[in-house]
Amino acid sequence: MISSESHQKLTVFPPHARGHVAIIMDGNGRWAKNRGKLRIFGHQAGVMSVRRAVSFAVSHHFDALTLYAFSSENWNRSSQEISALMELFARALDSELKSLHKYNVRLCIIGDTSRFGRRLQERIRRSEALTCNNHGLTLNIAANYGGRWDIIQGVRQLTAQVKGGILQPEQIDENTLSQVVCMHELPPVDLVIRTGGERRISNFLLWQIAYAELFFTDVLWPDFDDAVFENALNAFAQRERRFGGTTQHDANAS
């Protein structure tokens, strides 16, 4: 899955961080339709782009790469497509796990996995267990994930702590909620990339991307390659992140 070919690292992240990039992988269906094929062919081609993106993230020494694979709203698709996606997910876990482990990647599945079949849940547990002690790239696959669900499950955890006398209501703040949403142990997301031409975040990491930069491209996900990834990072490098404050230029102008 991961190429051993080395790439020159782009110095776009702060010196103390190696970067956390999240990608909304959109456009598989349109890619297949443009070729007169069924949607599943687009999803299969999209797996190749996942391989390229993970290889890029490993070779550029990212802290984390988070991929939006299956949203909680995707259950509204046809039963045939959902079944094909679940089978593709299971096969990808089986075929890519050894390579991920070899390259020191820690795999995490974020989302409500309880709705998946038992066999897929077991594959997920096995994959996470095998790679849990790896300390290279953290690869998060968002599956049956929604940003609203994430915040709600975090609030429920805090509510349980209040009921158990562990936490006082007045202690609930931004920091305490940040500790119970998905990926709380990782650096905040720096950059969100969305392929496929849409200009929205589609209920993805609503809490975690509050100060992330956004990059939208018309490239469909199966066509996403290193060049597009580098374009996104180059665009990110030109941004001046404010985190709710002002830039030095703004301060001087005032």
31 annotated ligand-binding residue? yes
Res 44: pLDDT = 98
How confident is the model at residue 68, as a pLDDT?
A: 99
Please list, in sequence order, all residues whose beta carbon lies within 8 angstroms of the beta carbon of residue 173, skipping any fewer than 6 positions away: none
Known binding residue 81? Answer is: no
Region of residue 61 (left: phi > 0; alpha: psi -120 to 50; beta: else): left
Q: How far apart are CA 196 and CA 23, in angstroms?
A: 11
Is a pLDDT exceeding 60 seen at residue 8?
no
Q: What is the band of 18 on the pLDDT scale with cuts at 50, 70, 90? A: confident
Give the span between the Cα atoms of 252 and 241, in whole angstroms: 16
Residue 200 in marked binding region:
yes
Q: Is 38 left (phi over 0), alpha (psi -120 to 50) or beta?
A: beta
Average pLDDT (238-249) is 69
Identify the DSSP state of 214. Answer: E
Q: Which residue ranges make up each domain of the chain?
A: 20-237
Q: Is 26 a catalytic residue?
A: yes
Note the pLDDT tens digit of each residue in 129-182.
Answer: 999 999 999 999 999 999 999 999 999 999 999 999 999 999 999 999 999 999
Position 246 scores a pLDDT of 59
Annotated catalytic residue, options 26, 140, 150, 190: 26
- Does 43 carry a binding-site annotation? yes
Q: What is the pLDDT of residues 190-234, one digit of tens each?
A: 999 999 999 999 999 999 999 999 999 999 999 999 999 999 999
User: Quick one: average pLDDT of 74-102?
Assistant: 97
Confidence tier at 240 by pLDDT (50, 70, 90):
confident
Q: What is the pLDDT of residue 244?
A: 65
The residues near 181 (Cβ < 8 Å, ≥ 6 apart) are 150, 151, 153, 154, 207, 208
C-alpha R_g of the chain: 19
Does the pLDDT of residue 242 top 90, yes or no? no
d(CA 28, CA 44): 8
What does the pLDDT read at residue 189? 97
- Angle CA 151–76–218, to nearest 5: 80
Note the maximum CA span of the chain.
60
What is the tens place of the pLDDT at every residue in 93-124? 999 999 999 999 999 999 999 999 999 999 99
Task: Supply the DSSP string of 190-236, one letter for each residue.
Answer: -EEEE-SS--S-TT-STTTTTT-EEEE--S-GGG--HHHHHHHHHHH
Rounded Cα distance, 26 and 140, in Å = 17
236: which 2 tokens? 């990110």
pLDDT of residue 101: 98
The pLDDT value given to residue 176: 98
Written as six digits, the tokens of 127 are: 């994959």
72 belongs to an annotated ligand binding site: yes
Given 63, 74, 203, 225, the catalytic residue? 74
> Quick one: pLDDT at residue 190?
97
Query: How far is it, in rounded angstroms, from Cα 162 to Cα 169?
Result: 6
- The domain made up of 20-237 has a fold known as Undecaprenyl pyrophosphate synthetase (3.40.1180)
Q: What's the predicted TM-score (pTM) here?
A: 0.90
